[in-house]
Chains A and B, each alone.
Chain A
Amino acid sequence: MTTERGMNAVAQIVRARELTKLYNGKTCALDHVTIGVPPGEWLCIMGPSGSGKTTLLNIISCLDRQTSGALIIDGNDVERFTPAQLTRFRRETVGLVFQQFHLVPYLTALENVMLAQYFHSMADEEEARQALETIGLGARWHHLPSQLSGGEQQRVCIARALINQPKIMLADEPTGNLDKANEDLVLALFRKMHEDGHTIIMVTHDPDVARLADRVVRLDHGRLVEELN
């Protein structure tokens, strides 16, 4: 099955055609997946463990490359990029939110946000503080990740992903390690992002989270098997 909704639209921010990913030349993680994401859409990718959700997200975030198939992001054929161009494209186009938060343990919340600015262009402490204020952590800027709760760490991660105004926000199980209260806080931030017009591609197991999305696609054994609006 392919999901090509909007494939013909001019402003398609992500356009994947027949994406296939083989590990070690034989293990098929993605099997001819075709998918298009219009700008401003919130797309959820669901599926059982090992279905290829994270692999698809890694390829769209330019952390990994497909074995075959075409991937056009924001009008760029990323397959043609050199590793250095991919790195630059990633820092300028994509914001990443991980299930495990992945904050640098010896940097404060503020410095973790500034890190993304530093790699993008230049660190701006005031702007980073403002981003932490926006997600309700203005008073916790000087805390290390170990001094923050899981929900707070994930909010710092979101602030870091947003700080460079990326065109696409990619999130891999962003509420997977959170309790209900923190999940609500984090989802509220994603709703706000969506309202602000960000394109969100989110991997989740949680149907309640998926219900917030504009569209849900389901993967199984590397194939797209279902699409729900």
Chain B
Amino acid sequence: MLRAIRARKGTMFLRILAKSLKNRRTRIAIAVLAVLLGASLVSALASVSLDARGKAGKALRSYGANILLVPRSDSLPLGAGKLEVGSMGELIQESQLAALSDDIAPHMAGYVPYLYGVVQVAQQKVVLAGTSFGQVRGVSPWWQVTGRWPSEQAPEALVGSEVAQKLQIKPGSSLPISYNNRVQNLTVAGIVDTGAEEDSQVLVALVRAQELLGKEGSVSIVQVSALTDKQPVAATASQIEKRMPQVQAKVIGQIAQAEAAVLGKVELLLAIVTLLVLLTSALTMVSTMTTTVLERTKEIGLLRALGAGRGRIAQLFMAEAATIGVSGGILGCVLGFFIAQVIGLTVFGSTVSLSPLVFPLSLAVALVVALSASVIPVRRAVNVDPAITLRGE
């Protein structure tokens, strides 16, 4: 019996609520729009933020490696790939690099092996760097190549811009290089400008360098581009050292710190924008609810005169606010997902995946904004004096 009474009371309450909302649909639509905008930005920015570490991490990988692998006994004074030729001693065996493909792979954007040697080119000593051009292009896409990238199979070379200038070399030129009486005739496929030490090197396919230098199956260093979204660079470095005991994994601090700082700033900016938008949504909601209460003062007075307690009045207005919050939250989440895609495509060049956290988070934020913004107007509503309002004062 009590349940039946409650059910019928609930039905009447929903009837009043629905008609009340319908009666002020324009004003309600404005409030929903305000909450929708807030929720959409929360949704979009939460999606981007949750995805940003990965996306920004990958984008920042474009600026170079953040871990350098050197043979453990070596003490190369290396920066981001800087090399002191004379200090080369032991080498890393290429077969050891297989370890990088296992459980470390998810934490890496890629790695590039290098084998260095000093060769003679037109009676000049030049550093020869053997590497994998495919891997270089993945990790260092900013390299400016005039001409084209060399083929890994053909006897071709990529010549650093400083070397090319010094030796008057152009794409298509022939390039005889010698090392310990071994000579290889290469063709210059392109001139590379990196702004770094590669500009003073001649780069060839790793296999070709190993053959010429007589160091088959070996590399001098490996540049690793570690992702920072799931774990710190240092953790990846230590993971590498555990898997490759003969190798020392050095974190290139400057880049790692800069990367973390940029990500931090991006997240701070996102948080500030979100807060400002939510504040605007809340103010619009306060304004809408205050106007609604003022417009309905006589109606509230009547309901009080008919025997509605303060709780019933608060319940009605809070239910309206909650309806606005939920509607705005749901629509905002959908809109936010599309905004996130636009941000993802524009900034990171790829779509943003929808985290399962985003929908409940946006809905909760929308609901909290709508309800908290209604507290003061609802307090005003429950304090309406029916005796005064019904006599028109």
Which residues of A are in contact with B by a Cβ distance under 8 Å?
54, 58, 61, 63-64, 83-84, 87-88, 90-92, 96, 98, 100, 102, 104-107, 111, 114-116, 118-124, 160
Quote the shortest CB–CB distance from A48 to chain B (angstroms). Answer: 16
CB-nearest residue of chain A relative to B298? A102
Interface SS of chain B: helix
A122 contacts B306, C-beta separation under 8 Å: no
Given the complex, which residues of B lie within 8 Å of A123, measured CB to CB?
8-9, 11-12
A63 near B390: Cβ-Cβ < 8 Å? yes
A118, B386: Cβ atoms under 8 Å?
A: no
Tell me the chain B residues, 1-16 only, with Cβ under 8 Å from chain A: 5, 8-9, 11-13, 15-16
A-B contact pairs, 8 of them (CB 8 A): A63-B387, A87-B304, A104-B299, A106-B19, A111-B19, A118-B9, A119-B306, A119-B308
Cβ-defined partner of B302 (8 Å) among A88, A102, A111:
A102
Residues in B neighbouring A160, C-beta threshold 8 A: 306
Q: With both chains docked as a complex, state the minimum distance between the C-beta of B312 and any C-beta of chain A, in angstroms.
A: 7
CA distance A102 to B300 in the complex (A): 11
- Choose from A104, A106, A116 the contact partner of B307 (Cβ within 8 Å): A116
Contact of B230 with A by CB under 8 A: no
Per-residue A-contact encoding for B260-299, CB less than 8 Å = 1, 0 else = 0000000000000000000000000000000000000011
B302 touches A105 (CB 8 A): no
- List chain B residues, Cβ under 8 A from A83: 310
With A64-B387, A91-B307, A96-B305 already in contact, 19 other A-B pairs whose C-beta atoms are closer than 8 Å: A61-B305, A63-B386, A83-B310, A88-B307, A90-B305, A90-B307, A91-B308, A100-B392, A102-B302, A105-B299, A115-B12, A116-B306, A118-B9, A118-B12, A119-B306, A121-B5, A122-B5, A124-B8, A160-B306
Q: Which residue of the partner chain, among A84, A91, A111, contacts B15 with CB atoms under 8 Å?
A: A111
Is the Cβ of B12 less than 8 Å from the Cβ of A120? no
Tell me which of A58, A96, A100, A106 has the highest count of chain B C-beta atoms within 10 A of its own C-beta.
Answer: A106
Nearest-Cβ distance from residue B232 to partner chain A, whole angstroms: 59
Please give me the residue from chain B that is nearest to A120 by CB atom.
B307
Does B20 count as interface, using CB distance less than 8 angstroms?
Answer: yes
Query: Knowing A64-B387, A88-B307, A123-B12 touch, does A104 contact B302 (C-beta < 8 A)?
Result: yes
Question: Measured between alpha carbons, how far is A23 from B387 in the docked complex, in Å?
Answer: 13
**Interface residues on chain B, size class:** 20 to 34
- Would you call A107 and B12 a contact (CB within 8 A)? no
CA distance A121 to B12 in the complex (A): 11
Question: Of all chain A residues, which has the CB nearest B392?
Answer: A100
Cα–Cα distance between A61 and B387 once the two chains are bound (Å): 10
**A57 to B132 alpha-carbon distance, docked (Å):** 96
Q: Look across to chain B and name the residue whose beta carbon is closest to the beta carbon of A96.
A: B305
Q: In the complex, what's the smallest C-beta–C-beta distance from B390 to chain A, in angstroms? A: 6
Contacts of B12 in A (CB 8 A): 114-115, 118, 122-123
Which residues of the other chain, A, contact B5 by a CB distance below 8 angstroms? 121-122
Residue of A nearest to B386 (CB): A63
A173 to B387, CA, bound (A): 15
Q: Chain B nearest CB: distance from A122 CB in Å? A: 5
Contact check, B306 vs A96: say whether CB atoms are below 8 A apart: yes
B390 engages A98 (CB within 8 Å): yes
Partner of A122 from the list B9, B19, B312 (CB cut-off 8 Å) is B9
Q: In the complex, A123 Cα to B392 Cα: how many Å?
A: 29
B166 contacts chain A at the CB level, 8 A cutoff: no
Q: Cβ of B255 < 8 Å from any Cβ of A?
A: no
Contact of A115 among B16, B386, B387 (CB under 8 A): B16
Interface flags for B11-38 (1: CB within 8 Å of A; 0: not) read 1110110011011000000000000000
B303 within 8 A of A: yes
Q: Within B297-324, which residues are at the interface with A (CB < 8 Å)?
A: 298-299, 302-310, 312
Q: Which residues of A contact B19 (CB under 8 A)?
A: 106-107, 111
A84 CA to B299 CA, complexed, in Å = 19
Report how far A39 CA is from B16 CA in the complex, Å. Answer: 35
What chain B residues lie within 8 Å of A105 (beta carbons)?
23, 299
Q: A58-B387, A121-B5, A122-B8 are in contact. Are A106 and B304 (CB under 8 A)?
A: no
Residues in A with CB closer than 8 Å to B16 are 107, 111, 115, 118
Q: Which of A58, A115, A121, A124 contacts B306 (CB 8 A)?
A: A115
